[in-house]
Amino acid sequence: MIKSDPDRSSGAEFAAARAGSTWYCAGNKDRLHYLFEGGRRLGRVRRGVEDGQRAMSESPETVGTDLPVRDVVGVGFGPANLALAIAIEEHNAECPPRERISAQFFEKQDRFGWHPGMLLDGATMQIAFPKDLVTFRNPRSAFTFFNYLFDQGRLVDFVNHQTFFPTRHEFHDYLQWAARRVDADVRYGTAVETVRGIRGDDGVIDRFEVRAADGSTVIARNVVMGAGLRERIPEWANPSARCFHNHQFLFRLGEMPAPVHHRFVVLGAGQSAAEIVQYLHGNYPEAEVHSVFSRYGYSPADDSPYANRIFDPEAVDDLHGAPEAERLRLLDVHRSTNYSVVDIELINELYATEYQERVRGRRRLFMRRASEIIAVDETSDGIEVAVRSGVDGLTDTLACDALILATGFTPAPLEPLLGDLAPQTHPPRDVGRDYRLAVSPDVTAGIYLQGGTEKTHGITSSLLSNVAVRAGEIVTSVVTRRGRNGTLASVNAQDTYATSEAR
């Protein structure tokens, strides 16, 4: 049974723990760590193992076992846990050796990647570049998007471009750049299979056994779940070479058999669906593209300044502290900031394209509004898609070359990994403000969630908007709890983590 954690920090205690006036910055070329306080540089230390520092990639301690013991084990190494690895590195750079955090990450992919199947040419980010891996937590960090631009020799050129929204290709390159630079022990090509509790002599679970698919095992005092999202596939769909989720769009498109019918169907009403419609229309000049959605038309994303405050770090405080009914009401009211919406510029471009085709009398772009797909049938040379209109009830069967499912994502379930430790609800409803999952009182080891917390923490749960601040909050929670439990001599009083009032 899932119960409230009696040791959960109060909101005031957590806020006090994460506030601080000491900042950290690392030199770009010589990899030196600089410490600042009140705008004054206090000194510098070279990255490595000076002053007794144990780099995260070095051999960890063992406690009563030959297995390595880590303070933090991260499941997955996408942007969220990459931001956490950076926060840990920066924490370790400015605190005494006994207060440093050892960490290891497991990633099932062979290399770092962030939605590579959706890196469409010309597609831009929907969030401003300062919402990178670190800036809202530590704008002096060596891992900012600005520092990436400087390192790549494009800082001036980017500023001349006069945009807050880099292309998805460029931001992906920034993430890869950060993943290469961070001092983290990452086991690529290794999936985690199970996380099981280890009971001490007092009967309390104070550590976890984390077992990977290759049979290797590590002991963790805290586990941070950052395994990402799962593709949402309609029940009637059987994924194949001609029916696939947009997450793998570019890969599947390259593997698809040669077009025969010169027709594509795209299901979905969000940004990804609209981008794919535009991509197919532009790259297959002889093909029809049919966009199927249940709405009457694409709806614009609300990115106005006041609505955007729902993504602010402070909004997480408000939403988590609000009564559940009010929190759910606010999430529903502000769905138009993120769900099943499209940038207005793209909407206008698609509308102009459709209109000009009407003028010329040669239609290739079709908006099948207020419609649904009721059946699909793969044939020897394509796939037949039955589309029914909700307005007149009529059904059209389209013989096409591919059906792309731009149907969104859902949080990956925790039960396959956590077993009996997993919450009884999906997504979990009992998560602390510090993203620590509340489990039974006999569990003192921590399980932190990087994602899947929309119902408790708000819309930023699965977005990049808050990864920097959230990473710092998780580090602060780990350090504070470890200090309170007596395994640290003290907690670093000069904490680096802070939030910004500017989104």
Average pLDDT for residues 81-102, to the nearest whole number? 96
Does residue 450 belong to any structural domain of this protein? yes
Checking if the pLDDT of 60 tops 50, the result is: no
Minimum mean pLDDT range among 52-66, 251-265, 362-376 = 52-66
Residues whose CB is less than 8 angstroms from the CB of residue 143 and which lie 6 or more positions away in sequence, other chains included: 86, 132, 133, 134, 178, 181, 182
Checking if the pLDDT of 10 tops 50, the result is: no
Predicted local distance difference test score (pLDDT) of residue 483: 67
178: left (phi over 0), alpha (psi -120 to 50) or beta: alpha
Integer-rounded Cα radius of gyration of the chain: 24
Average pLDDT for residues 373-396, to the nearest whole number? 97
Checking if the pLDDT of 12 tops 50, the result is: no
Predicted local distance difference test score (pLDDT) of residue 342: 97
* Three-state secondary structure of 381-440: CCEEEEEEECCCCCEEEEEECEEEECCCEEECCCHHHHHHHCCCCCCCCCECCCCEECCC
Greater pLDDT, 425 or 54: 425
Does residue 490 belong to any structural domain of this protein? no
Average pLDDT for residues 346-352, to the nearest whole number? 98
Domain identity same for 121 and 211: yes
Cis peptide before 413 (omega within 30 of 0): no
Domain identity same for 386 and 346: yes
Predicted local distance difference test score (pLDDT) of residue 66: 75
Burial class (CB in 10 A: 0-12, 13-18, 19+), 270: buried
Q: How confident is the model at residue 227 (pLDDT cuts 50, 70, 90)?
A: confident
Domain identity same for 38 and 186: yes
Count of alpha carbons within 13 Å of 349, Cβ hemisphere only? 12
Q: What is the pLDDT of residues 465-483, one digit of tens each?
A: 999 999 999 999 999 998 6
- Alpha-carbon span 324 to 309, nearest angstrom: 19
Q: What is the pLDDT of residues 267-297, one digit of tens each?
A: 999 999 999 999 999 999 999 999 999 999 9
Average pLDDT for residues 32-40, to the nearest whole number? 35
Domain identity same for 283 and 192: no
Predicted local distance difference test score (pLDDT) of residue 485: 59
Minimum mean pLDDT range among 169-178, 210-219, 411-420, 422-431 = 422-431
Q: How confident is the model at residue 426 (pLDDT cuts 50, 70, 90)?
A: confident
Does residue 79 belong to any structural domain of this protein? yes
Domain identity same for 123 and 174: yes
Residue ending a domain, choose from 380, 405, 430: 405
- Alpha-carbon span 257 to 185, nearest angstrom: 40
Mean residue pLDDT across the chain:
86
- Alpha-carbon span 478 to 467, nearest angstrom: 16
Q: What percent of the chain has pLDDT over 90?
A: 77
Does residue 150 belong to any structural domain of this protein? yes
Greater pLDDT, 308 or 496: 308
- Alpha-carbon span 406 to 244, nearest angstrom: 9
Residue ending a domain, choose from 354, 376, 405: 405
Greater pLDDT, 234 or 43: 234
Does residue 489 belong to any structural domain of this protein? no
Q: What percent of the chain has pLDDT over 70?
A: 83
- Alpha-carbon span 298 to 280, nearest angstrom: 17
The number of folded domains in the chain is 2
Q: What is the pLDDT of residues 137-171, one digit of tens each?
A: 999 999 999 999 999 999 999 999 999 999 999 99
Average pLDDT for residues 224-250, to the nearest whole number? 95
Predicted local distance difference test score (pLDDT) of residue 232: 95
Domain identity same for 24 and 106: yes
Average pLDDT for residues 7-15, to the nearest whole number? 43
Burial class (CB in 10 A: 0-12, 13-18, 19+), 475: buried
Residue ending a domain, choose from 358, 386, 405: 405
Task: State which residues form the domain around 286.
Answer: 234-301+338-405
Predicted local distance difference test score (pLDDT) of residue 228: 85
Average pLDDT for residues 45-68, to the nearest whole number? 45
- CATH number for the domain spanning 32: value is 3.50.50.60
Minimum mean pLDDT range among 55-64, 142-151, 299-308 = 55-64
